[in-house]
Structure 1
């Protein structure tokens, strides 16, 4: 550690070296080779749209002013040497320094090679602003971006993996993804934009882009596993299936511009818990309310109790899932309202059948006809006793009530099936 003491105190640094000055290059651009590692992804707070992500940027560049000053890879002090001037974008609300040894002072994050190649590791825990689109909850997908801005001629060029350069530009510790979302993909892009506060940073000269998709796997279940296991090491350094795109032309001089290295994380909400905790119980409750159609029309007490219990159960489920601070109408709210409406209609059907049995419904019809002066004249024609008996039997209150129950057994399941199909097509299809 003798070399480290010299570099830490500044004794090994040349006298004409100035840390405020970037390494001299022919075009004024300092190419910074990079790799990105997502070390941890925390849960998303849907009330304030906050999400924590621990990310590590490993950078390398050439500084000819420090060439031949060491015979091997030597740790150096980043506070006394030039490092790329970078800052995070507007989506980052708070930044916390993370060190390997847990100590902020005396931590080593910069190394120097004999040819003047500098290695720099930047590890930060970021609190991001990632507003989710809750209108489709719990079928929502969303994206969260992290921008690292480079100034003073810093550019992030293409370094696609090859047989000579095998380092992947991006990797994720999938065992540390503890969000209620499943990580489905990651996009990495490097571009250059004019340094103008009125300029949209989404435009500019694209230098490199990587698009990685993550298949479903069991990595989140291996939290805390040991790297000695091959499967665990694969999950902790997960890459996915990536496609790369690089610019055919070099970007112009960026000494007065802004270089942007963007990492965009793609998530899809884990839905199986919602299926078994919300949708399946709701379907069971709605289906149980239809048992009232199979009970005798005169069992009014049992039928009303069954429907009222189903309505109260659905209202209780909907109330328990209302989270503080969320005011938008979500897909889950639409589902619960539709289910409550179906059960409420079943309750109205029970009331209607009971009114018919007691003649209240027919009395209301007769009163309505009298109010409008409607008079029914008898039709001339032969009359027989057996025809009158048949007419009386087919129009008796109990027969009408049974007929309404019969059609309800068919119409209610069909109506609910149409609602479910339309709901799934709208929010998933």
Structure 2
């Protein structure tokens, strides 16, 4: 038993010594690298505020590569999105050439070197990921090439076009630009080999990443000729062209949520409003309740869908859809009010033919205008016995003579030609419909007209949002 305890103790001692030796080696190597860096910097009298010199005096070139870990939290309300990325800068600083192998360090080493002053143009907020210094990595090659890498978590502005929301796609940029050096001093360029890489397992909640690409450009910050006091802004060190690198993310919105939670329910509500056409025109409580309840439900549904969007000056696709559905639901209410008012009329409707044109015309035309003849009280009556004769010199039409109001069955004269015309019209026949028949006829036509019109406007709408 004692032998086993002794063996275990010896094993632990040996293991601790081994780990101590490894830690010592790591610490010694770290000290050597630090001392090597200090020696290099001291030998060349390194000035971290001075830009790396070039052989021909041209601008320093900084090559950039970006790896995208994550894209998400795209906030349309604030016009911004979140990104987690790894950025790596590469440039040549001939003052740091050495023969001691690759020197690596973290934030402490970076603070001793010259680094390019770059910033995110469309940045809303950004922080270096992690809390330790290990989130920054710097390595110096033997030829003086410096690799500076760091991880960023940031919120970037994205000016979104929401005209086709929720069938929209957005192109959100990530812009890097030189801050302290114009193009005569520093030029930004993308790495020729894979300048942008995206995590293959990247999953977004509301969007899908369709594509990403890079481009480079220059921004002109030359000031207009203007002097403020004794300072000429044209000669400012900040005027001139500045090198810019941009990554574009093409994002396409996933529409499944909106189809199932907004469009399908709204279509059902419009269809439900048409049930009113199958109810009796005199069923006031049922048809009124059906129309108002569908209208209020649809308005509530539409308010929820647009609550997460910013207030914009143009009309979005969802608002066109809202207007379309509102017109059809409100139209069913108006149709009910119309047929109910007809249903409650007492007088029959006379029509020439039983088709839409004549039925609607006769229904909408006031009763007095539809009466051509047969209403003696509307005409002026002779007050004394007189003889109405034709004027032979003028060649007017023949008239009937009236000698006495009490003896003549007709109280006034009808020209012969008009009398013949009236008889001819009556011989053709006039159809009569009761108000109830007219109301039911309008309901039957509405059962066909409303669905066909809704299908037509749907075709126009979906062509608009998809193309």
Question: TM-score, normalized by length of structure 2?
Answer: 0.68
Deviations 1:34-58 (A, max 9, x none): 2111222232222222322222221
Q: Report the secondary structure of 1:402's partner residue.
A: helix
Q: Report the secondary structure of 2:281's partner residue.
A: coil
Q: Report the secondary structure of 1:135's partner residue.
A: coil
Q: Structure 2 residue aligned with 1:326, among 311, 314, 317?
A: 311
Q: Structure 2 residue aligned with 1:98, among 126, 129, 139?
A: 129
Q: How many residues were matched structurally?
A: 357
Equivalent position of 2:187 in the other structure: 155
Q: Structure 2 residue aligned with 1:30, among 60, 66, 70?
A: 60
Could you tell which deviates more after superposition, 56-65 or 151-160?
151-160
List alignment gaps of at least 5 residues for structure 2.
1-26, 225-238, 350-361, 375-421
Q: Structure 1 residue aligned with 2:343, among 349, 353, 357?
A: 357
Deviations 1:352-374 (A, max 9, x none): 2222222179799799454xx77
Query: Counterparts in 2 of 1:74-223, with a 5 A limit?
Result: 74-75=104-105, 77-89=109-121, 91-99=122-130, 102-103=131-132, 105=133, 107-150=135-178, 151=181, 153-157=185-189, 159-161=191-193, 168-173=194-199, 175-178=201-204, 180-193=206-219, 196=222
Equivalent position of 1:165 in the other structure: none
2:365 and 2:164 mapped to 1: Cα distance? 48
Deviations 1:266-292 (A, max 9, x none): 222211110111111111111122122
Give 1 or 2 for the bigger CA radius of gyration: 2
Q: Is the Cα–Cα contact under 8 Å of residues 138 and 271 in structure 1 kept in the other structure?
A: yes
Deviations 1:87-123 (A, max 9, x none): 221x212221224xx32x4654101222322111132
Equivalent position of 2:86 in the other structure: 56
Query: Counterparts in 2 of 1:281-320, with a 5 A limit?
Result: 281-320=265-304
2:306 and 2:171 mapped to 1: Cα distance? 24
2:240 and 2:426 mapped to 1: Cα distance? 104
Query: Counterparts in 2 of 1:358-397, with a 5 A limit?
Result: 358-359=344-345, 368-370=366-368, 375-377=371-373, 379-380=422-423, 391-392=431-432, 395-397=433-435
1:17 is displaced (CA, Å) by: 1.5
Cα gap change, 1:282/1:366 in structure 2, threshold over 3 Å: closer, same or farther?
closer
Cα gap change, 1:366/1:276 in structure 2, threshold over 3 Å: closer, same or farther?
closer
Equivalent position of 1:65 in the other structure: 95
Query: 1:336 and 2:364 equivalent?
Result: no
Deviations 1:215-266 (A, max 9, x none): xxxxxxxxxxxxxxxxxxxxxxxxxxxxxxxxxxxxxxxx974221111222
CA RMSD of aligned residues (A): 3.3
Query: 1:259 and 2:255 equivalent?
Result: no
Q: Is the Cα–Cα contact under 8 Å of residues 94 and 127 in structure 1 kept in the other structure?
A: yes
2:291 and 2:162 mapped to 1: Cα distance? 31
1:195 is displaced (CA, Å) by: 5.2
1:140 is displaced (CA, Å) by: 2.0
Q: Report the secondary structure of 2:39's partner residue.
A: coil
Cα gap change, 1:12/1:179 in structure 2, threshold over 3 Å: closer, same or farther?
farther
Q: Is the Cα–Cα contact under 8 Å of residues 88 and 149 in structure 2 kept in the other structure?
A: yes
1:360 and 1:13 mapped to 2: Cα distance? 109
Cα gap change, 1:154/1:346 in structure 2, threshold over 3 Å: closer, same or farther?
same
Q: Is the Cα–Cα contact under 8 Å of residues 307 and 344 in structure 1 kept in the other structure?
A: yes
1:409 is displaced (CA, Å) by: 1.4
1:360 and 1:70 mapped to 2: Cα distance? 110
The structure that is helix-richer by fraction is 2
2:145 and 2:54 mapped to 1: Cα distance? 14
Equivalent position of 2:466 in the other structure: 428
Cα gap change, 1:51/1:320 in structure 2, threshold over 3 Å: closer, same or farther?
same
Equivalent position of 1:19 in the other structure: 48
1:295 is displaced (CA, Å) by: 3.0
Equivalent position of 2:252 in the other structure: 268
Question: TM-score, normalized by length of structure 1?
Answer: 0.73
Q: Is the Cα–Cα contact under 8 Å of residues 128 and 135 in structure 2 kept in the other structure?
A: no
Cα gap change, 1:362/1:156 in structure 2, threshold over 3 Å: closer, same or farther?
farther
